[in-house]
Structure 1
Amino acid sequence: MKAMIVSDFAVLRSAILQLLGICAIIALFMGYAMGTLVGGAAAIAAMPPFMLLFSLAATDEQNGWERFRLTLPLTRRQVVFGRYASLALVAIGTIVFALALSFLLLGVISCMPAGTLPEGLTPAENPPAALVGSVVGAVGVITLGMAVTLPLVFRFGMTRATRFVPVVVVIAIACGIGFFDAGIQPTGVLADLVQWLDTGSNYLFLAAALVAVVALIYVASAFVAAKLYEKREF
């Protein structure tokens, strides 16, 4: 599995460096356009894991690398678990990078004269707990998406799997649009949850719970993907 991780990061080295620069630029533009550092932090946190997933999947199909790799002293289970471990490290690294960049920008904002930036970009409107919660939440949601996507990629390959992933995304978006267009407002337990999140540092508790749930789903997905990959014929 270690050999698989080293191989993946050798492939991703240049892509990661380029992506870090792109994320820094996007953080500045989106933060200013949205008028909130929290939104910009979540946006850049959501980008790297999913983009690098498809970069690795594309490399697997390029020049028959995936088939050649199976001739090496690597079992199919090691390939799957190594890929999951690589992307888990990418997700953790994304959280660290997004938080470091967010707090750096927050420090810069704190030093600027009052009235220079929109009200939404003031430190009071972007508390540390909200930044941590937004970044961890965004990476958690994307990791959940990877847990759904990876078994499809290992079973069908990237070319065929990408036909299924957009269907899942479109259905999820359609359900979300239908929910909000219906004018449904948070009531009862949901309203209490929204109010609870806006109190103190409760975003951190939700982020911790999300990490635990997503980690379990991600591990379960790895075993499903391993089973599917063992049955795949090239």
Structure 2
Amino acid sequence: MKRAFMSELAIVRTLTPSIAGVGLFIFVVLTLANASDGDSGMSAGACAVSAMSPIMVMSSLAGFDNQNGWERYRATLPLTRKDIICARYLCIVVFSAIMACAAVLLNIIALPFFNSAGVASTGQTIFEIAIASAASMLISLMMVFLAQPLFFRFGHMEALRLSVGLFALLGCLTMAALSSSNPISNWLMSIAGANPDPAVLGCLCAGIAVLVLALCAISCTVSTKVYRVRDL
């Protein structure tokens, strides 16, 4: 497991400059675009980077496997396929967490500059920004865990086509779930909006994290089974 994880990290190191560059561009654009809304709007940049990082690293790793033939070569190494799968999932989670932390740190660094420029403050705390970024990352990880078995089953190109449809379907379901006509959505929004207490926000984020962990375990199990029977 350790050797498989280190090999994944070696690949991620080569992909980090491009992913970080895209993330920085997204952060700057969205932060400047929403600066007029105050510090609550500026957190959009951190949330966007946190949400996009899991998807970017998943597709980048799959693309690297396909482009360089690493998937077949890795199968010849003294690594079990279960170790390969677990290392890939762990690498995605670790990299996503690092990117989310970096996005929050950039937001914290940017706040004094906007305050000195006269941008109105809405009183949003650093904790709230961190919770929003963490929730964005966790929700994105749920989407990644749903799509990841497709990459191990069908390969990079076919999985990309299927994952686009999957993400579109998930987006439609999310909008339907967050609709004002949904009583569960209204109940959750009332809790988060009427109780901006750190404990309440922390509990909501912890609940999402539990769902992500459960989905990760299920997805990892499915990926392991389909990868074992796949002919490389």
TM-score, with length taken from structure 2: 0.86
Tell me the distance in 2 between the aligned counterparts of 1:187 and 1:85: 35
> Where does residue 193 of structure 1 map in the other structure?
188
Tell me the distance in 1 between the aligned counterparts of 2:69 and 2:25: 35
Contact 1:24/1:101 (<8 A) preserved: no
> Where does residue 162 of structure 2 map in the other structure?
164
CA drift of 1:21 comes to 3.5
Tell me the distance in 1 between the aligned counterparts of 2:180 and 2:175: 13
> Where does residue 63 of structure 2 map in the other structure?
58
- Of 36, 42, 49, 2:47 maps to 42
Equivalent residues in 2 for 1:1-150, closer than 5 Å: 1-34=1-34, 35=37, 36-110=41-115, 112=116, 116-117=118-119, 119=120, 122=121, 124=123, 126-150=124-148
Gaps of 5+ in 1: none
Equivalent residues in 2 for 1:204-223, closer than 5 Å: 204-223=202-221
Shift of the 222–188 alpha-carbon distance from structure 1 to 2, 3 Å rule, reads: closer
Tell me the distance in 1 between the aligned counterparts of 2:175 and 2:189: 19
CA drift of 1:86 comes to 0.9
Shift of the 123–149 alpha-carbon distance from structure 1 to 2, 3 Å rule, reads: same
CA drift of 1:147 comes to 0.6
> Where does residue 155 of structure 1 map in the other structure?
153
Q: Could you say what secondary structure the match of 1:59 adopts? A: helix
**How large is the Cα RMSD of the aligned pairs?**
2.2
Contact 1:129/1:204 (<8 A) preserved: no
CA drift of 1:188 comes to 4.9
CA drift of 1:16 comes to 1.3
Contact 2:143/2:167 (<8 A) preserved: no
CA drift of 1:70 comes to 0.8
| Cα-to-partner distance string for 1:33-72 (whole Å, 9 max, x where unaligned) | 1231222211111122211111111111224221111111
